[in-house]
Amino acid sequence: MDKFTLSCCAETMFTDLSIVERVKKISELGFLPELWDWTNHDIDALASTGVEFSSMTGYIEGDFLENSDRLIASIHESVAAAKKLGVPRLNLHGTGLDNKGLPVNPRLVVSGRDWIKAYKVLSGIAEIGAQNDVMFVLENLNLKVDHPGTPFATAEDVFSLVSEVNHPNLKMMLDLYHQQIDEGNILDSLTRYLPHIGEIQIADVPGRQEPGTGEMNYPAIAQHLRKIGYKGVVGFEGFPSDDPRLALERFEKAFN
pLDDT tens-digit readout, 47-76 = 999 999 999 999 999 999 989 999 999 999
Residues noted as catalytic? 139, 237
- How much is the pLDDT for 108? 86
| Spatial distance between the Cα atoms of 118 and 138, rounded to a whole number of angstroms | 12
pLDDT at residue 118 is higher than 80: yes
**pTM higher than the cut 0.85:** yes
- Report the percent of the chain where pLDDT is more than 70: 100
pLDDT classification of 148: cutoffs 50, 70, 90:
very high
- How much is the pLDDT for 233? 98
pLDDT at residue 1 is higher than 80: no
Tens digits of per-residue pLDDT, 152-209? 999 999 999 999 999 999 999 999 999 999 999 999 999 999 999 999 999 999 999 9
